[in-house]
Amino acid sequence: MLLNYEVIDNKLVIKLDGELDHHVAENIRVELDEMIEKKRIKYLIFDLSNLRFMDSSGIGVIMGRYKNISKIGGKVAVIEAQEKIDKIFALSGLYRIVEKYENLTEALNRL
Amino acid sequence: MEYKNHMKLEFDSKSQNEAFARVVVASFATQLDPTLEEIADIKTAVSEAVTNAIIHGYEDRLGIVRVICNIQGNELEILVEDEGNGITDIPQAMEPLFTSKPELERSGMGFTVMETFMDEVRVYSEPGKGTRIRMVKKFKSLVAE
């Protein structure tokens, strides 16, 4: 799993490249939380265009970041979720708390 | 004669093996001429079941996880077994969003995902003895023929 970051003002764009399961979830969690604190991030955007596989561990990672960032009035968004991953998010009710946008431009405009 | 095949995989309860297990089962399933979607369904369900065995079955201990696959006609039966803690309340464990490990940021969606992507899911468990998850996937390409 590769993580690519881009910080735009107080927004952090994370591009997940590869497979997100329980094995890699812990590292991602630690890395993201560090970054959020250091860069004073308020909005998190998960770019899932290159995410080839995700199981429910991914829901845990996103929900956990939502819990932290919503405490400081921030928001979490996902963009370009492929069909299978979109289905997992939908059935877990994740879209009730996390914004879903088509692409990065839309996410940056709306957040 | 109905086509049959069988395989058994055994590995340590290490999280590195989650990806290994789902890739092996997906490879075994290719003989059923699956669609890309069916392969993705199987990978996700196996990943959930194996993760359960590692996190909940053995917690921090090292144990053995077994994955057994049986093909019969157009059906693939997948058994994921551990000899770990077992589950005291199976209906509760299978409820969406129920998790016994919120501190690990587990979403509690594992069984719901398995049930969504597979045609049958049954859980057999005995506290202190272990857990067996039985899942069945019916492959459509072969049904149509």
CB contact under 8 A, A60 and B112: no
- What structural domains does chain B harbor? 4-144 (3.30.565.10)
Domain that includes residue A29, residue range = 2-110
Please determine, for residue B78, whether its predicted confidence score (pLDDT) is greater than 90: yes
Considering only the beta carbons, identify the residue of A22, A53, A56 that sits closest to B109: A56
Q: Is B56 on the interface with A (CB under 8 A)?
A: no
Rg from Cα positions in chain B: 15
CB contact under 8 A, B19 and A56: no
For A20, which residue in chain B has the nearest alpha carbon? B19
Whether ipTM tops 0.85, in short, is yes
Question: Which amino acid would we find at residue A33?
Answer: D
CB contact under 8 A, A19 and B19: yes
Mean pLDDT of A1-29: 94
Residue B32: Cβ within 10 Å count: 22
Mean pLDDT of A17-39: 94
Q: Is B100 on the interface with A (CB under 8 A)?
A: no
Q: What confidence score (pLDDT) does residue B142 get?
A: 56
Q: Is B79 exposed, middle or buried (0-12, 13-18, 19+ CB in 10 A)?
A: middle
Summarize pLDDT for B82-136 with one digit per residue, the tens: 999 999 999 999 998 889 988 888 889 999 999 999 999 999 999 999 999 999 9
Token pair recorded at residue B34: 């699956």
Q: What confidence score (pLDDT) does residue B32 get?
A: 95
Q: At what angle do helices B110-117 and A56-70 cross, to 10 degrees?
A: 140
CATH number of the domain residue A94 falls in: 3.30.750.24
Mean pLDDT of A22-34: 94
Q: Is A110 on the interface with B (CB under 8 A)?
A: no
Q: What is the DSSP string of A20-54?
A: ESHHHHHHHHHHHHHHHHHTT--EEEEE-TTEEEE
Residues of B in contact with A28 (CB under 8 A): none
pTM: 0.94
CB contact under 8 A, B40 and A84: yes
Structural domain count of chain A: 1
Residues of A in contact with B106 (CB under 8 A): 56-57, 60
Which residues neighbour A71 within 8 Å (Cβ) at sequence distance 6 or greater?
A: none
Mean pLDDT of A3-30: 94
Residue A33: Cβ within 10 Å count: 14
Residues of A in contact with B38 (CB under 8 A): none
The more confidently predicted of residues B11 and B1 is: B11
The residue whose two tokens read 């196996």 is: B46
CB contact under 8 A, B51 and A22: yes
A4–chain B nearest CA distance, Å: 21
Q: What confidence score (pLDDT) does residue B114 get?
A: 97
Q: Active-site residue numbers of B?
A: 48, 52, 106
Residues of A in contact with B97 (CB under 8 A): 92-93
Summarize pLDDT for A45-95 with one digit per residue, the tens: 999 999 999 999 999 999 999 999 999 999 999 999 999 999 999 999 999
Please determine, for residue A12, whether its predicted confidence score (pLDDT) is greater than 60: yes
Q: What confidence score (pLDDT) does residue B123 get?
A: 97
B132–chain A nearest CA distance, Å: 19
Q: What confidence score (pLDDT) does residue B1 get?
A: 78
Q: Is B68 exposed, middle or buried (0-12, 13-18, 19+ CB in 10 A)?
A: middle
On whether the CB atoms of residues A39 and A72 are closer than 8 A, the answer is no
Token pair recorded at residue B122: 């049954």
Residue A2 confidence class, pLDDT cut points 50, 70, 90: confident
Q: What confidence score (pLDDT) does residue B143 get?
A: 55
Q: What confidence score (pLDDT) does residue B103 get?
A: 83
